[in-house]
Amino acid sequence: SESIDDLCWLLTVWTSLCHMEVGTDVTLTCTYDAHYYGKLSVCWGRGAIPNRGCANEVIKTDGNSVISRLSERYLLVGGLGEGDVSLTIRQVEESDSGMYGCRVDIPGWFNDHKHQLTLTGGEGKNGHCSLDSCV
């Protein structure tokens, strides 16, 4: 039925593989339509995205500014007001490799947008990693 198809679409998690070069900065892209939804809270974490919040949270915003950060190496340098909540990791280290998840907290049940990216060693593309699809 149509409602089941809609629910399945809402639960979709976008994934991407990103190659990094140690010692450089890398940006993991995550965006949402702030003009439509307004300013929303967003978190980035390490590992798979759980049912609520972010696992091993590295940075969080309330929609206006960053409210918590694990390290000064984690930055949100995009326009928060425009829905650009891409994560920049400064001076990437080998220990930074692994899965990262971005959760955009859309109000309502099962509405959150989720992106997962996996950082691996190797040559990066201008230090910028993006998904094939946007939220």
pLDDT tens readout for residues 83-111? 999 999 999 998 999 999 999 998 888 78
Domains, the chain, in order of start with CATH, read 2-129 (2.60.40.10)
What's residue 110's pLDDT? 78
Where is mean pLDDT largest: 2-6, 16-20, 115-119? 115-119
Tell me the average pLDDT across 61-88: 94
Q: Is the distance from CB of 75 to CB of 90 less than 8 angstroms?
A: yes
Q: Is 8's pLDDT higher than 80?
A: no
Between the alpha carbon of residue 134 and those of residues 1, 29, 30, 95, 113, the distances in Å are 25, 9, 7, 27, 10
Q: Is 15's pLDDT higher than 80?
A: no
Q: What average pLDDT is seen over the chain?
A: 80
What's residue 107's pLDDT? 86
Instruction: Tokens 């593989």: give the residue.
Output: 17
Instruction: Tokens 């001076």: give the residue.
Output: 91
Q: Is 125's pLDDT higher than 50?
A: no
Q: How remote is the C-alpha of 55 from its chain's centroid? A: 12
